[in-house]
Structures are given as structure tokens and as C-alpha cells.
Amino acid sequence: MKKISINSFLLIATIALISSCGPTLKVSSDYDRSADFTAYKTFSMYDLKTTGGVNQLNKDRITKYIKAEMKNRGFKENNSNPDLMVNAVTVIKDKRSLVARSDFYGYGGFYRPYTYWRAAPASANTTVSTYEYKDGSLVIDVVDAKTRKMIWEGTANAQFDRKPQNPEEAISKTVSKIMEEFPVTLKK
């Protein structure tokens, strides 16, 4: 009976570990503490810049979800005379990581209780490998349209090794996570 429960536990732990191995999204933000966010009522999107092969479909998705987040916070889109201008920048870079792993074989040494205090023959093997991945960031800036002063910036960063299977969902979640830190909360 105990063997079954331990095996079940190991299976559940393995599934949990595998499902949690997606890219970890790191989000941060900063804002002008003197800005009165309640005074702003309208916004407009401008100047979406992308690097690293972000295609037009994903640019459109980013714009769509930023607009939705702003509207959900009570802002109206106004392209002729907005209070706020919202900008987004994506940066995707190819990166390489160097990993070294050493394996030690043999017995001996004073730290082993079952041997004498002497060094017995031992060997070590070090393997060096590289790991290629992409480092991606999405930065959303909110600028006061009249003063041209940035009043808020939110950033998300993640490392990944392949494109998401569902880019619509990935972009939606990323924009939502960034906008959670915006000083104006969602309207109910």
C-alpha cells in the first residue's frame, strides 16, 4: 500500500515539475509618483517597435491587448487629442549559455566515514555544453500627451527556447501581467 502511494506521489510531482517548466515571466514597473492618474481619461497607441523577428500578427495582438487593458481600466481611445500616448517595444535576442557539469568517481578522503583519512584513487569528468535560447522583453510606456513626459513603464522579460504554441494566449497573458502593475485598476 505504501509503495503505491509513494509511486503516486512521484508521478504527481513529476507532472507538476514538467508543467511548471515553461518560461518564467519577470515583470517590473515604475511610475511618476507625482502624476495624477485619475485626471487622464483618453489614450492613443503610437509607435510600436519590434526587433528579433516579431511578425505583424504578433504586433497586432500586442496592440489589441494593450487597448483592451486600457479600456478595461475606463480609458477611451481617442486618436485625435488623447490625454495619454501608449507605446510598446519588443526586443528578442538570441542568447547562448555555457554549462559545465562535473562528475566525481571513486572512494576516499577524510569526509567518508567508511575509509581511512587518506585519499584513495578517484577521478572526475567535466562536461561543457552550450544552450541556445531567446531572451524576450515587452516594454509598455505610457506618456502624458501634453507634457510628453513618461509617467509609467511596465516591462516583462522571459527566456524561452521555442515559440509558444498559442501566441494569442501568450501575448494576452504577458500584456495582462504587465498591466496588473498599472496604477489605475480594472473597472468592475
Cell numbers for 97: 549559455
Whether the CB-CB separation of 161 and 133 falls below 8 Å is answered with yes
Per-domain boundaries in the chain? 24-96+133-179
For the domain with range 24-96+133-179, which CATH number is right: 1.10.10.60, 3.90.870.10, 3.40.50.11310, 3.30.160.670?
A: 3.30.160.670
What is the C-alpha separation between 6 and 171, in angstroms, rounded? 39
* Per-residue pLDDT of the chain in tens (188 residues, 90 and over written 9): 444 444 433 333 333 333 334 568 899 999 999 999 999 999 999 878 877 778 889 899 999 999 999 999 999 999 999 999 999 998 888 777 777 777 766 554 555 555 554 555 556 677 887 777 778 889 999 999 999 999 999 999 988 767 778 889 999 999 999 999 999 987 76
CB-count exposure of residue 178 (10 Å: 0-12, 13-18, 19+)? buried
Q: What is each CA distance from 69 to 82, 176, 187, in whole angstroms?
A: 16, 7, 10
What is the C-alpha separation between 171 and 64, in angstroms, rounded? 10
Tell me if the pTM is above 0.85.
no
Strand partners, 124: 104
Cell numbers for 15: 507532472
